[in-house]
Amino acid sequence: MDTAFSSEDLKFQSDVREFISNNYPKELKDSISTKRKTGKELSRDDLMSWHKILGKHNGWSAPGWPKQYGGAEFTPTQKYIFEQECARAECQYIMPFGVNMVGPVIYTFGNEEQKAKHLPGILSGDVFWCQGYSEPGSGSDLASLKTSAVKEGDHYIVNGQKTWTTLAQHADWIFCLVRTNPEAEKPQQGISFLLIDMKTPGITVRPIKLMDGSHEVNETWFDNVKVPVENLIGQENMGWTYAKFLLAHERSGIAGVARSKKALERIKQIASAEMSYGEPLIQDPAFKSKIANAELELNSLEYTELRTLAKDSAGKGPGPESSLLKIKGTDIQQMVTELAMEAVGYYANPHLGTTLSNEYVGPDYATNLSGSYFNFRKASIYGGSNEIQRNIIAKMVLGL
């Protein structure tokens, strides 16, 4: 047993650290920091410019992709290090929809034309993707989805509604699960995986405002949208297989350990500035104990993730254990966002960055911490709710 990094890994770590410090743009840091302090939303440039820089550097925008598709093909340990270093420097994270979700589906199940057409744009960050899975009537029971695609000549005609489409307001393309065979014996058997250009006539995107006031997700409507048949991935009616592959594929970073660690560090700093009972909050035994509790959960989860990664490097592919990482990872994110809100006392109240608030009040570090708390209730719901993750473990790991 050995968790020390090898000399190659240490070299890699210092390379990543150096690359970030030389290349992460100051303007981006400032722009994001100002927006955070004032409660403003991030622009497409804020979200993508770091991705674009990484895309020009040995495929670092796609840490897990094979080299033949332009990815970095990091080892699991390298992925872990990369994740840690990016979190440490508070880099804007890479949007997962292209790199972690549709990308691996395209290079695994797509044809040569599809690979040539789509992979470079995902890698470079020039093309923004979003995900068309959930529907108003299909949340946890995703296979019940109704959006239909009917083949007419060399096109599919798509009709229906997707929802919770994250950042669709920025997206150029959407990957969708659609029903191509309503007659199939099982609902899973009639689903196909389609790539759709968001500029196609008949697509309407409407914002859904979340409880923190943010515009993160949307409804996406399809009204007789014509999609060329060459945009079908793999075989018709096999979409469920690709969808499941996508869900289980990318587990590096799924637990968000590095980001939660950084957040916990910040909470300690905030709690050293906030006063309670005439002393810094960080001296308060009850608060200390909550921090320590979160830290222990995080330490355990970090080693659970490392154990999973070590299994991955031994060639034992991804499996349903990633559900464990999702459950605990989101538990901890929620624990951490709650602690941050708690740390700032009354200054959890001001809701800044809305059209009604022009003035900025309270300490900079307090802005939007309650917003984060409310926003992060989503974490145990999205990506397969934590109850669904428990169903998966019960069935696939425990054999119940």
Binding site residues, another protein, CB under 8 A: 1-6, 9, 32-34, 36-37, 77, 90, 262-263, 266, 268-273, 282, 288-289, 291-293, 295-297, 299-304, 306-307, 309-310, 324, 327-328, 336-337, 340, 364-365, 367, 369, 372, 375-376, 387, 390-391, 393-394, 397-400
205 vs 393 by CB, closer to another protein: 393
CB of 80 to another protein, least distance (A): 8
The residue behind tokens 């804020």 is: 46
In the complex, the smallest distance separating the C-beta of residue 340 from another protein, rounded to whole angstroms, is 5
Closer residue to another protein, CB minimum distance, 196 or 291: 291
Shortest distance, position 82 Cβ to another protein, whole Å: 14
Ramachandran sector of residue 125 (left: φ over 0; alpha: ψ -120 to 50; beta: rest): left
Rounded to a whole number of angstroms, the minimum distance from the CB of residue 307 to another protein is 6
Token duo for residue 356: 């009604």
Kindly state the smallest distance separating residue 291's Cβ from another protein, in Å: 7
The CB-of-381 to another protein minimum distance in angstroms stands at: 16
The SS3 of residue 179 is: strand
* DSSP-derived secondary structure letter, 42: P
- Non-local CB neighbours of 4 within 8 Å, separated by 6+ positions: none
Using DSSP's 3-state secondary structure scheme, residue 217 falls into strand
- What is the DSSP code (8-state) at residue 192? E
Q: In whole angstroms, how close is the CB of 33 to another protein at the nearest point?
A: 3
Check: CB of residue 124 under 8 Å from CB of residue 96.
no
Q: Least CB distance from residue 201 to another protein, whole Å?
A: 35
- Sign of the CA dihedral 253, 254, 257, 262? positive
Q: Which is nearer to another protein, 237 or 283 (CB)?
A: 283
Query: For residues 305 and 261, is the Cβ–Cβ distance under 8 A?
Result: no
Nearer to another protein, 39 or 104 (CB): 39
Asked if residues 392 and 319 have their Cβ atoms less than 8 Å apart, the reply is: no
User: Is there a contact between 48 and 128 (Cβ–Cβ < 8 Å)?
Assistant: yes
Which residue carries 């489409």 as its tokens?
A: 165
The residue among 8 and 15 lying less far from another protein, judged by its C-beta, is 8
Nearer to another protein, 8 or 230 (CB): 8
Token pair in block for residue 274: 């906030």
Distance CA 10, CA 96 (A): 26
C-alpha 54/C-alpha 299 separation (Å) is 29
